[in-house]
């Protein structure tokens, strides 16, 4: 079975690298739409419909080779598939219901509240004075947010907390309390596809996006609808892993919201010990043929928080680790399993951009990177190389820390807070 899996992987990689269909742009320019459709069918699609030109791309719907209906964006010049998503079957329109009984109306109201509610458990209570709810992005995705006022006497601005992949707002309640004690207001969100925000696929345990640009829509909506109108300036960013990657991209695109940014174990590069080039080609190929919605090989719907403590790569603190697992046990809808092939392919494209030598030099905001010395998920070495090229940045690596520094042992967390207090103006004064 192992030999067969390896052989199948190598065969698919061979197809992805060697089969290069001819560009279709010239055929369309000559008005031969039928020829363009034939060239699309060469790429493994059938029953093509709705073919139209949009800028440099063709947009159409078709069936992939396993019979699923997909919406496809294809580069007209090269024939490369640059966007692909499944077309979900349209549900039948229900007739307008008659006035319902009170108990039914109450049930509907509870469902709406449940989407917005934060989950509180005895070991992880909601910090006081929380305001939570949902917002909608420019592409219609509902996101959950939460914010808190400053807890200290002197207001020092707002720290925006951006979680990593598969995380939720509740995971940062301890951090929220620590920031409020320092005199900061706090705001946070659940990225699309995780936590209490809307999920992209019918299997809600799949972590899925087609491109990391989607997260920029989340960030724009959060800042413009929640932080800028309702939270006191100045603004500081505190982001972990994937959240740090999203924040770096925003800064690179000159979104100047934050005075200073602290990145905790940032996803500058993924730590893949075996065949990283094969993984890149394989995920890109599978996404290109319409299978990007599937779990990565070996992935499953088991929530990442349900994995045994003994072999976990994120924290050496058993109490905090079990506390996070208890949150998902209290509300299973917050859990997230393995990423999809499309998510991994999008992550590879993002970290490849970070690897460009000129990328860090274009970041003009003060940045502090706090790396984990024993990180098994992202590359701390890549983060160190990245930090060297920053115009106004520095890196601190905490020896012995696993990936999630903020749910590590107190001896590790205290080193993080010492670096944070030294970097963020006014942070340390409230603690004295």
Give tens-digit pLDDT for 149-168. 998 777 899 999 999 999 99
Q: Choose one of 86, 104, 138: the last residue of a domain.
A: 86
Q: Identify the residue with better confidence: 395 or 275.
A: 395
For residue 274, being part of any structural domain is answered with yes
User: In the prediction, which pLDDT does 155 show?
Assistant: 83
Shared domain for 75 and 220, answered yes or no, is no
Residue 391 falls within a domain, yes or no?
yes
Q: Within this chain, do residues 123 and 47 fall inside the same structural domain, yes or no?
A: no
- 123 falls within a domain: yes
Residue 95: what pLDDT?
42
More confident residue, 28 or 428: 428
Q: Are residues 321 and 417 in the same domain?
A: yes
At residue 99, the pLDDT reads: 41
Q: What is the mean pLDDT of the chain?
A: 86
Total-model pTM: 0.76
CATH at 321? 3.40.50.1820
Please say which residue of 86, 107, 135 terminates a domain. 86
Tell whether the model's pLDDT for residue 21 goes beyond 90: no
Instruction: Give a yes or no: residue 107 inside a domain.
Output: no
Q: What is the pLDDT of residues 88-123, one digit of tens each?
A: 554 444 443 434 333 333 343 344 344 558 999 999
Asked whether residue 17 is domain-assigned, the answer is no
Residue 94 counted as domain residue: no
Give the range of the structural domain holding residue 69, as residue numbers without chain letter: 22-86
The answer to whether residues 135 and 201 belong to one domain is: yes
Mean pLDDT of 237-249: 98
Query: 66 falls in which pLDDT band (50, 70, 90)?
Result: low
Question: Which band of pLDDT confidence, cut at 50, 70 and 90, is reported for residue 392?
Answer: very high
Q: What are the tens digits of pLDDT across the range 167-192? A: 999 999 999 999 999 999 999 999 99
Q: Which of 35, 64, 86 is the last residue of a domain?
A: 86
User: 201: number of CA atoms within 13 Å, CB side?
Assistant: 22
- Residue 86 banded pLDDT, cuts 50, 70, 90: low
| Stronger pLDDT, 108 or 348, i.e. the higher one | 348
Please tell me whether residues 409 and 274 are part of one structural domain.
yes
Q: Tell me how far apart the alpha carbons of residues 138 and 71 are, in angstroms, rounded to a whole number.
A: 20
Q: How confident is the model at residue 65 (pLDDT cuts 50, 70, 90)?
A: low
In a domain, 253, yes or no: yes
Say yes or no to pLDDT of 132 above 90.
Answer: yes
Least confident of 19-33, 175-189, 324-338: 19-33
Residue 27's pLDDT band (cuts 50, 70, 90): very low
Q: How many domains are contained in the chain?
A: 2
């Amino acid at each position: 079975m192992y030999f067969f899996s390896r052989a199948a992987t190598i065969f698919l990689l061979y197809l992805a690298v060697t089969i290069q269909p001819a560009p279709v742009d010239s055929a369309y320019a000559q008005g031969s739409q039928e020829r363009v459709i034939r060239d699309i069918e060469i790429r493994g699609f059938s029953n093509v419909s709705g073919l139209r030109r949009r800028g440099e791309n063709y947009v159409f719907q078709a069936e992939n080779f396993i019979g699923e209906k997909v919406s496809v964006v294809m580069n007209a010049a090269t024939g490369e598939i640059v966007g692909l998503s499944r077309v979900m079957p349209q549900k039948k329109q229900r007739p307008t219901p008659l006035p319902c009984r009170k108990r039914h109306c109450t049930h509907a109201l509870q469902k709406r509240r449940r989407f917005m509610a934060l989950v509180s458990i005895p070991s992880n209570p909601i910090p006081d004075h929380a305001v939570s709810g949902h917002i909608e992005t420019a592409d219609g995705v509902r996101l959950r947010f939460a914010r808190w006022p400053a807890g200290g006497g002197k207001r020092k601005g707002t720290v925006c907390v951006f979680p990593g992949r598969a995380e939720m707002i509740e995971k940062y309640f301890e951090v929220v309390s620590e920031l409020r004690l320092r005199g900061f207001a706090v705001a946070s969100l659940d990225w699309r596809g995780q936590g209490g925000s809307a999920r992209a696929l019918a299997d809600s345990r799949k972590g899925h996006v087609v491109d990391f640009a989607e997260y920029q829509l989340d960030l724009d909506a959060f800042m413009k609808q929640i932080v800028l109108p309702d939270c006191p300036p100045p603004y500081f960013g505190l982001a972990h892993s994937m959240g740090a990657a999203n924040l770096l991209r925003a800064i690179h695109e000159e979104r100047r919201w934050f005075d200073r940014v602290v990145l905790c174990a940032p996803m500058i590069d993924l730590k893949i010990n075996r065949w990283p080039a094969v993984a890149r080609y394989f995920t890109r190929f599978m996404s290109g043929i319409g299978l990007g919605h599937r779990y990565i090989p070996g992935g499953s719907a088991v929530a990442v928080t349900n994995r045994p403590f003994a072999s976990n790569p994120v924290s050496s603190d058993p109490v905090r680790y079990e506390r996070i697992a208890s949150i998902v046990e209290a509300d299973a809808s917050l859990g997230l399993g393995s990423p999809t092939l499309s998510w991994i392919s999008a992550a590879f494209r993002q970290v490849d951009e970070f690897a460009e030598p000129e990328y860090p030099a274009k970041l003009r905001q003060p940045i502090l990177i706090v790396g984990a010395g024993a990180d098994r998920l992202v590359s701390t070495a890549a983060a160190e190389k990245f930090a060297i090229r920053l115009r106004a940045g520095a890196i601190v690596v905490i020896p012995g820390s696993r990936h999630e520094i903020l749910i590590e042992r107190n001896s590790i967390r205290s080193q993080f807070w010492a670096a944070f207090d030294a970097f963020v103006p006014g942070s340390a004064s409230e603690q004295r």
